[in-house]
């Protein structure tokens, strides 16, 4: 896909200035440079930072749960030495200050600490006990059950349903991000190509990460996100308020300020052994269909995937006969030329990427007329499967076809490109 270098430099320049000069936000909205930056923050958050920081959150809370069970086990041992029986009372163990009552409705015997609920179950004889730690909110504050008993051993196991609960949480966050990005694009729909190119810039991630690292310690934490006060602070703040509620930060006595953050190096490390510098390009050919007011764009996709670990020139693998599907809605009927929704790209081997597509029809389209039209789109890839597992990135798509009313009907063609969100080398 050809690029206009002067346009690229203009868009990518948006990432260089938010800490060095005040925001120019006003009632008239954002400048193009600010719009690229704010869109980039939301893109990096949902595509890279939030999944990584959630993983650290759960691991941290699990380790704290294990530590708390050791405290309970030690207190039980001391109690047994003094009374020849164990107890299920945190008060009698002298540790109730560390484990305040959980706010259960109706009242329950659980105590809470750092995102976990704790309960001691006593054998009727009083000669054995089991202390159990379970996540206060499954798939959010934790996904692991932790148990100890009078032997002092610690046992852990994953809890069924945690993965689906987490996936549902991120789906809700994705939907909110679609709405926020849609609202941003509405300010300057004609600048969608420039916004997309800005997000594809190799500078996009490091500059965005720097802006989110509020205290400058090289890591982005939940506290940094809560304290963000840079460009687009109202938009980013309201989005993170939603995220905080959806992730239920602080539930179960969770100390949000103590949760670990992620460094840029953490995010540059891919779970995919094939590398994290994955460039995807595809040509699309399909038929638009709109049966229930949801624009359904299915197409066959021919293209290539270039994978590099950042230290070599990588390997390019072509695919033919892949499938592309976009399901778009028109969130604001007053702006019929702007669409938003989800996309899926899958090759013949089942390797898949899923993400978000926000598109705007090029100006000059006459509503209701049958005519050629073009949809310029920005793309955010949020997850991958198969050989594309671990892929996240930003890109653009251009879709050309016949317009009937406000959107495509019948044959269309297009092209798509996705670059990695975290690029260890410049784009080739």
Q: Say if residue 124 is in the same domain as residue 136.
A: yes
Token representation of residue 327: 């399901």
Q: Say if residue 183 is in the same domain as residue 239.
A: yes
Q: Which of 99, 132, 162 marks a domain boundary?
A: 162
The model's pLDDT over 34-43, given as tens digits with 9 standing for 90+, comes to 999 999 999 9
The per-residue pLDDT for 145 is: 98
Phi-psi bin for 57: left (phi > 0), alpha (psi -120 to 50), beta? alpha
Q: Say if residue 92 is in the same domain as residue 13.
A: no
Residue with the bigger pLDDT between 366 and 304: it is 304
Range 126-129 contact pairs with CB under 8 angstroms and sequence separation of 24 or more: 126/85, 126/86, 126/87, 127/85, 127/86, 128/86, 129/76, 129/86, 129/87, 129/88
- Indicate the Cα dihedral angle 377, 378, 383, 388, nearest 10°: 80
What span, in angstroms and rounded, lies between the C-alpha atoms of 184 and 178?
Answer: 10
Q: Say if residue 228 is in the same domain as residue 210.
A: yes
Residue 225 falls within a domain, yes or no? Answer: yes
What span, in angstroms and rounded, lies between the C-alpha atoms of 390 and 271?
Answer: 6
The per-residue pLDDT for 367 is: 55
Q: Say if residue 147 is in the same domain as residue 210.
A: no
The per-residue pLDDT for 226 is: 94
Confidence of residue 291 (pLDDT cuts 50, 70, 90): low
Q: Say if residue 383 is in the same domain as residue 411.
A: yes
Give the H/E segment covering residue 321. Answer: strand 315-329
Q: Which of 162, 181, 203 marks a domain boundary?
A: 162
CA-nearest of 338, 48, 47 to 184 is 338
Residue 270 falls within a domain, yes or no? Answer: yes
Residue 125 falls within a domain, yes or no? Answer: yes
Q: Say if residue 362 is in the same domain as residue 229.
A: yes
Confidence of residue 169 (pLDDT cuts 50, 70, 90): very high
Q: How would you label 403-419 residue by residue, b for 16+ Cβ within 10 Å and e otherwise? A: bbebbbbeebebbbbbb
Q: Say if residue 232 is in the same domain as residue 182.
A: yes
The per-residue pLDDT for 13 is: 41
Residue 338 falls within a domain, yes or no? Answer: yes
Q: Taking all residues of the chain, what is their mean pLDDT, rounded to a whole number?
A: 86
138-142, 240-244, 267-271, 407-411: lowest mean pLDDT where? 267-271
Confidence of residue 105 (pLDDT cuts 50, 70, 90): low
The per-residue pLDDT for 220 is: 97
Confidence of residue 428 (pLDDT cuts 50, 70, 90): very low
Confidence of residue 8 (pLDDT cuts 50, 70, 90): very low
CA-nearest of 253, 263, 269 to 61 is 253
Token representation of residue 171: 């789906």
Q: Considering the entire predicted model, what is its pTM?
A: 0.86
23-37, 75-89, 157-171: lowest mean pLDDT where? 23-37
164-173, 260-269, 329-338, 399-408: lowest mean pLDDT where? 399-408
Residue 374 falls within a domain, yes or no? Answer: yes
Q: Say if residue 91 is in the same domain as residue 103.
A: yes
CA-nearest of 31, 28, 53 to 231 is 31
Distances (CA, A) of 204 to 41, 381, 420: 9, 15, 11
Q: Say if residue 292 is in the same domain as residue 404.
A: yes
Q: Say if residue 273 is in the same domain as residue 291.
A: yes
The model's pLDDT over 305-320, given as tens digits with 9 standing for 90+, comes to 887 665 556 678 899 9
Token representation of residue 260: 């670990």
The model's pLDDT over 225-280, given as tens digits with 9 standing for 90+, comes to 999 999 999 999 999 999 999 999 999 999 999 999 999 988 876 555 454 577 89
Residue 428 falls within a domain, yes or no? Answer: no
Residue 279 falls within a domain, yes or no? Answer: yes
> Is residue 152 predicted with pLDDT exceeding 90?
yes
Q: Say if residue 280 is in the same domain as residue 395.
A: yes
List the domain range (segments joined by +) for residue 136. 57-162
Residue 95 falls within a domain, yes or no? Answer: yes
Q: How many separate domains does the chain show?
A: 2
What span, in angstroms and rounded, lies between the C-alpha atoms of 115 and 60?
Answer: 10
Q: Which of 106, 133, 162 marks a domain boundary?
A: 162
Confidence of residue 153 (pLDDT cuts 50, 70, 90): very high
Confidence of residue 25 (pLDDT cuts 50, 70, 90): very low
């Amino acid at each position: 896909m050809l690029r206009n270098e002067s346009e690229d430099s203009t868009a990518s320049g948006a990432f260089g200035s938010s800490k060095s000069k005040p925001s120019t936000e006003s009632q008239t909205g954002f400048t193009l440079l600010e719009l690229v930056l704010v869109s980039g923050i939301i893109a990096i958050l949902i595509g890279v930072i939030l999944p990584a920081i959630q993983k650290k959150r759960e691991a941290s809370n699990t380790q704290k749960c294990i530590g708390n069970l050791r405290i309970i086990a030690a207190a039980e041992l001391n109690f047994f030495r003094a009374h020849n029986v164990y107890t299920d009372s945190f008060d009698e163990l002298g540790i109730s200050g560390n484990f305040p009552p959980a706010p259960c409705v109706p009242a329950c015997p659980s105590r809470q600490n750092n995102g976990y609920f704790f309960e001691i179950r006593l054998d009727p004889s009083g000669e054995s006990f089991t202390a159990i730690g379970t996540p206060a909110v499954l798939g959010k504050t934790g996904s692991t059950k932790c148990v100890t008993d009078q032997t002092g051993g610690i046992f852990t196991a994953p809890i069924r349903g945690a993965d689906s609960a987490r996936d549902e949480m991120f789906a809700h966050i994705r939907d909110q991000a679609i709405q926020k990005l849609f609202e941003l694009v509405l300010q300057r729909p004609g600048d969608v190509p420039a916004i997309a190119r800005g997000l594809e810039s190799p500078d996009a991630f490091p500059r965005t990460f720097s802006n989110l690292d509020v205290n400058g310690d090289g890591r982005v934490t939940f506290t940094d996100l809560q304290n963000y006060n840079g460009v687009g602070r109202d938009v980013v703040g309201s989005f993170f308020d939603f995220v905080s509620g959806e992730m239920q930060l602080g539930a179960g006595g969770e100390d949000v300020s103590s949760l670990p953050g992620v460094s840029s190096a953490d995010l540059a490390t891919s779970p995919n052994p094939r590398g994290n510098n994955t460039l995807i390009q595809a040509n699309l050919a399909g038929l638009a269909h709109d049966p229930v007011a949801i624009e359904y764009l299915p197409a066959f996709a021919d293209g290539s995937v270039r994978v590099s670990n950042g230290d070599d020139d990588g390997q390019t693998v072509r695919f033919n006969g892949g499938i592309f599907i976009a399901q778009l809605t028109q969130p604001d009927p007053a702006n019929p030329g702007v669409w938003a929704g989800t996309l899926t790209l899958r090759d013949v081997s089942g390797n898949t990427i899923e993400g978000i597509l926000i598109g705007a029809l090029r100006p000059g389209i006459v509503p209701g007329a049958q005519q050629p039209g073009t949809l310029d789109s920005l793309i955010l890839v949020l997850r991958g499967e198969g050989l594309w597992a671990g892929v996240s990135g930003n890109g653009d798509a251009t879709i050309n076809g016949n317009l009937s009313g406000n959107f495509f009907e019948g044959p269309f063609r297009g092209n798509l490109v996705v670059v990695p969100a975290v690029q260890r080398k410049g784009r080739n």
